[in-house]
Structure 1
Amino acid sequence: MSTIFDHLRSDDGEHVGYIEVVDDLFVPHDLLHRRRGEPMELDEAEAVLDAVGLRALAEDWLLDPTDGIGEPLRVRIQEVTRTHVTVAPTVDGAAGEVAKRIDPAASVTLALPTDRLCPVE
């Protein structure tokens, strides 16, 4: 049986992931509960999560369709809780716009962990 606890970044106390205790080692998991490395020492696991931080919240993701038919949809994360993530499709903006826009009316909430979200490469 493993134990999982929250990891708060030491600089500012921000919740940036989870650490799973496996035997005498520690496995870092990001806010989306994705494993971010092999079992390691605690200080190494904390450093991995500190480096990952909240970057995932500002990145584009691909949402796989529920039925497996069709193309993945480009989305942005709106909110992450311990049990769910809410994403919304990105909207193509006018030429010259810097910020990404999303369509909040088309938001989708997924239980965590989920295999339907993949980072855009």
Structure 2
Amino acid sequence: MATPLPSENTFDHVRALDGEHVGYIHMTDDGGFVPFDLLHRQRGEVSELDEAEALLDELGLRLLAEDWWLDLDGERVKVLIREVRRATVSVSPALTGPIAKSIDLTKTIELLLPTDRLHQAG
């Protein structure tokens, strides 16, 4: 299924426990629900609403702390996510050194969502 954002059949999912926006849920024409993370990636199949919500609740904001690869000028560059907004994500190159999860604060790359240039490291 292609990412349906934005769509009148897609709504924000806010985790009840802490009020964090953790993704989107798309309602299909036949009344099913499909969970999408903050990067507009489909994270599960068509299911009941409570199942889609539970999946997004479990995923939470983990993706923001993970390592990522960005396709940039014909190569893959290690980046970290700085900020996610409804239509864009900002990333910065990861730095190697004694401090874990350091980024180059002088370089920010803004990508429109959804994007096929960003890949989870692992």
| Residue identity (%) | 57
Deviation of 1:104 after TM superposition, in Å, equals 1.7
Residue in structure 1 matched with residue 20 of structure 2 by the alignment: 14
| Distance in 1 separating the partners of 2:16 and 2:42 | 20
Q: Could you list the runs of 4 or more consecutive aligned residues of structure 1 that deviate by over 2 angstroms after TM superposition? A: none
Partner secondary structure for residue 104 of structure 1: coil
Mapped to 2, the partners of 1:111 and 1:35 lie a distance apart of 16
Unaligned runs of 5+ in 1: none
Q: Distance in 2 between matches of 1:24 and 1:100?
A: 41
Measured in 1, the distance between the counterparts of 2:104 and 2:57 equals 30
Give the structure-2-normalised TM-score.
Answer: 0.89
- Quote how far apart the aligned CAs of 1:86 are: 0.1
2:73 equivalent to 1:49: no
Residue deviations 1:40-98 (CA, integer Å, cap 9, x gap): 00000000000100001100100012x5x2x200000000000110000100113xx4x
Q: Which secondary structure does the structure 2 equivalent of 1:64 belong to?
A: strand
TM-score (norm 1): 0.90
CA RMSD across the alignment: 1.3
Q: 2:88 — aligned with what?
A: 84
Matches within 5 A, 1:53-68: 53-65=60-72, 67=73
- Paired with 2:47 and 2:121, the residues of 1 have a C-alpha distance of 27
CA distance in 1, matches of 2:107, 2:116: 20
Q: How far is 1:2 from its partner?
A: 6.4
8 Å contact 1:2–1:21 — kept in the other structure? no
Instruction: Say how many residue pairs are matched.
Output: 115
Maintained 8 Å contact 1:6/1:19: yes
Map of 1:24 onto structure 2? 31
